[in-house]
Amino acid sequence: MMVETTCDETGVLKGRPSIAGGPSEPQVRTVAQGEAEIGRTIATAFSILLCIFLFPISLLAIVKLVNEYTRVVIMRLGRVVSGDAKGPGLFFVLPCIDDLRNIDLRTQVSDVPPQEILTKDHVTVTVDGVLFYRIFQPVMSVTNVANAQYSTWLLAQTTLRNILGTVTLEELISNREEISRRMQVILDEATDPWGVKVERIDVKDVKMPKKLQRAMAAEAEAARDARAKAITAEGEQRASRALKEAANVLTRSPGAMQLRYLQTLQAVSADNNHTVVFPLPNDLVNRVVGAFAGAGRGGPGLDMAAAAAAVQPLIQ
């Protein structure tokens, strides 16, 4: 018996007994591994002999069939066989010592339950989503995590709360695609050691308080009214400029005014056949009124010459 002495950080000597010439820890581990290999060999030989003894009935337990989208991870006495999954198609197993884990490689869909989230601008909203993922490495999904599907689902909930807590309500409503891409990248990096590929995660619905919804609706309505008024004012400005240019053209050409007058009469007669409107120029009306006024001052008779002179331009 010997005593090994060591000195700790405080300078106190500590001792522990050791057996001089005893086996070291690596040697003990090697012996244990050798015993495990012997036990595994004996169990494998017993399983093979059992299959031979019960042939052909044992074929029902030996031959397995899996679909194209399924892989099988075989755990033989606690260890993965050949380091890779089996399938698709036919393969053989050893009864009594092989444990089979079926892994579906198709894309799985999971609903992320509603989460109450406080956004960056201190608004409480309830958000739910949908998660799309698939297993691309069956062995890793069995050996590196207890339940790959459940772990991915819980991680998606946590990521959804963490990411949406760093954005404002306006960004949450208007930039859903960008937020979804950020969450997908974070989840894909976290689940890669589990053999899980996150293909997509989307924000499905955003529920806000009723008061906030009414306030946002009033704000949007006021913004639409302001845009409508601005568009109307701009249209009136353009119309006034066009009317000004048209007036300048008609002023330079007296015949154009007469043609416009006839065009207006044609439009009125087409819409209302029983109504005909004759617009009279202001100077002509003033002349006729002046003729009648002069007749009233001069006596009971009417100055026919003045009235005829006033109506003459209309006849022409």
Which residue type does 213 have?
Q
Long-range CB pairs of 222-231 (<8 Å, 24+ gap) are: none
Greater confidence (207 vs 215) lies with 207
Query: Residues 138-166: what's their mean pLDDT?
Result: 92
Residues 112/118, Cβ–Cβ less than 8 Å = no
Query: Residues 214-224: what's their mean pLDDT?
Result: 77
DSSP bridge partners of 90 = 65
DSSP bridge partners of 103 = 71
User: pTM here?
Assistant: 0.60
Q: What is the DSSP string of 199-227?
A: EEEEEEEEE--HHHHHHHHHHHHHHHHHH
The third-level CATH classification (topology) of the domain covering 108-208 is: Tetrahydropterin Synthase; Chain A (3.30.479)
pLDDT digits 0-9 by tens, 15-27: 454 444 455 566 5
Tell me which DSSP letter residue 86 carries.
Answer: B
| Average pLDDT of the residues of the chain | 77
* pLDDT at residue 301 is higher than 50: no
Q: In what order do the strands lie in the sheet with 124-135?
A: 108-118, 124-135, 196-207
The residue behind tokens 């490689």 is 105
Greater confidence (315 vs 58) lies with 58
Q: How far apart are CA 281 and CA 62, in angstroms?
A: 110
Greater confidence (136 vs 307) lies with 136
| Lowest-confidence segment of 178-187, 189-198, 241-250, 270-279 by average pLDDT | 270-279
Residue 28 pLDDT level (bands cut at 50, 70, 90): low
Predicted local confidence at residue 279, as pLDDT: 63
Q: Give the CA radius of gyration of the chain.
A: 48
